[in-house]
Structure 1
Amino acid sequence: MSFDAIPTDYSVARIVETVQQILGAGVLPPIIQAGHPVLRHVAAPYDGQLSDAELGHLIDLMRSVMHKAPGVGLAAPQLGIPLQLAVLEDQFEVDPEVAAVRGREPLPFFAMLNPRYQPLGTATAAFYEGCLSIGGLQAAVLRPESVRLDYTTLDGTQLERSFSGWQARIVQHESDHVHGVLYLDRAELRSLSCNAEYAARWSQPDIDRARQELGFLPDPAEDYGSGAGFPSVGK
């Protein structure tokens, strides 16, 4: 599936000014919501637009915003900054049954610049997913079960890492953000649920009931997984 997101029109000077305003405000910035154009533009590749100190402070701030939300990932565009930068961390305690179903293991904190991913193999899985920039909603998203992530570290090192299970889902969700893609672009829209309905009806580890009653991918031969939808990936 491809999307025709357009490149950001922010100049380097405007990006730097935006970052400096956010860092200088002295408070945690709000997470912008769907409808803001920056979420639909391809963010600028990071190539040294910020000083090392500014980049470090921005990453610390993003991590704090992610924790407060709470979420397991946050991309710079979600703060209104069109840079290909995201932070990821999953240390939440999860019910063992849910963790087993979704292949969810703790993900130590890391920041990634200019991320891109490719599927590893053909296996796919679907889980309910949410996003900190789409408040109050969740939907099932079919994604590759394992991916190879190519990204740049803060010191400029180019790395290649493999992820599977829920970690791969977080990587894909956050990488999509910096390329102007939201999870709803990939979602089964008939699965779309508000948080209250999700909690009341579809919060079991298995999504079979939601699939059957809401009528998405009704063919049981489809390679369609299961899972719960919180905390938000976007996240």
Structure 2
Amino acid sequence: MATPPDDLPLAELVEELLATGGPLPIVAAGDPVLRRGTERFEGQLDSALLARFVEAMRVTMHAAPGVGLAAPQVGVPLRIAVIEDPAPVPDEVRLARGRVPQPFRVLVNPSYDGVGAVRAAFFEGCLSVPGWQAVVERFDRVRLTAEDEHGRSVDEVFSGWPARIVQHETDHLDGTLYLDRAELRSLSSNQAMAERWTQPTPREAAASLGFRLPE
């Protein structure tokens, strides 16, 4: 699909994307839309168009598949993201990573702050950087403030893997990719991940690849 003009009004841009039907094309790293940051959502899309856009983001996230998707990843520079994680992982992974199921949620104008001093480091991937994963150290707990798709206030503390998802997706809205925060010595192809680094934590990868983990 051709890249829409940068000066196209956001409502027209979204309508053009939705006209294609099915999952939306995901923008890959290197496209400036992933680096420019986003506009706060202040009614640029009417309620019906917002609902259609949110549903298209949900379909796209599921099809990828992923556990989160930010509007810039489909070429729309609005401060909107969606998250959902059924967390189909073994118990040892769930316990090590704090990965618990998360229902589908829409985050409008989100921001986060770290809660406490505990940091956690795990491999992450990104739909906009296909084929690669790297270890990222993040806050283990965050306080998220946002609105939902109906304009209701959200003020909630997330911990473990849900906190990681919130940070990853909110970072997208500020023009930040996970690689900006990653330990680059950990960068691994999906093939290497499947063959070498399937453990619940990246401790073995750190020892073998020569990078530091938080204490």
TM over 0.5: yes
Q: Does the CA contact (< 8 Å) of 1:10 and 1:82 recur in 2? A: no
Measured in 2, the distance between the counterparts of 1:81 and 1:92 equals: 27
Partner of 1:56: 51
Matched, 1:86 2:81: yes
- Which residue does 1:98 correspond to in 2? 93
- Could you tell me which residue of structure 2 aligns to residue 150 of structure 1? 145
After superposition, what is the alpha-carbon deviation per residue over 1:30-82, rounded to whole angstroms, capped at 9, x for unaligned? 11100000000111110000010000000001000000111000001000000
- Stretches of structure 2 lacking an aligned partner (at least 5 in a row): none
Using the TM superposition, give the Cα deviation of residue 10 of structure 1 relative to its aligned residue in structure 2, in angstroms.
5.2
SS of the equivalent of 2:204 reads: helix
Aligned length: 211
Which ranges of 4 or more aligned residues in structure 1 deviate by more than 2 Å? none
Instruction: Please give the residue correspondences for 1:180-219 in structure 2 after superposition, counting only pairs within 5 Å.
Output: 180-217=175-212
Q: Give the stretch that moved more between structures: 209-218 or 123-132.
A: 209-218
Unaligned runs of 5+ in 1: 1-8, 224-235
**Inter-partner Cα distance in structure 2 for 1:81 and 1:111:** 15
Residue 92 of structure 1, CA deviation: 3.3
1:174 aligned counterpart, secondary structure = helix
Q: Compute the RMSD of aligned alpha carbons.
A: 1.3
| Highest RCO, 1 vs 2 (Cα 8 Å, sep ≥ 6) | 1
Provide the C-alpha distance between the structure 1 equivalents of 2:21 and 2:56, rounded to a whole number of angstroms: 10
Verify the 8 A CA contact 2:97 2:160 in the aligned structure 1. yes
Q: For 1:150 and 1:128, how far apart are their aligned partners in 2? A: 25
2:23 to 7, 28, 34: 28
Partners of 1:30 and 1:130 lie apart in 2 by: 18
Identity of aligned residues (%): 49
Secondary structure of the 1:190 match is strand
Q: Is the 8 A contact 1:117 1:147 kept in 2?
A: yes
Deviations 1:181-230 (A, max 9, x none): 00000000000000001111111113111001100117xxx32xxxxxxx
SS of alignment partner, residue 192 of structure 2: helix
State the match for 2:160 in structure 1: 165
Tell me the distance in 2 between the aligned counterparts of 1:52 and 1:67.
Answer: 23
User: What's the CA shift for 1:95?
Assistant: 0.9
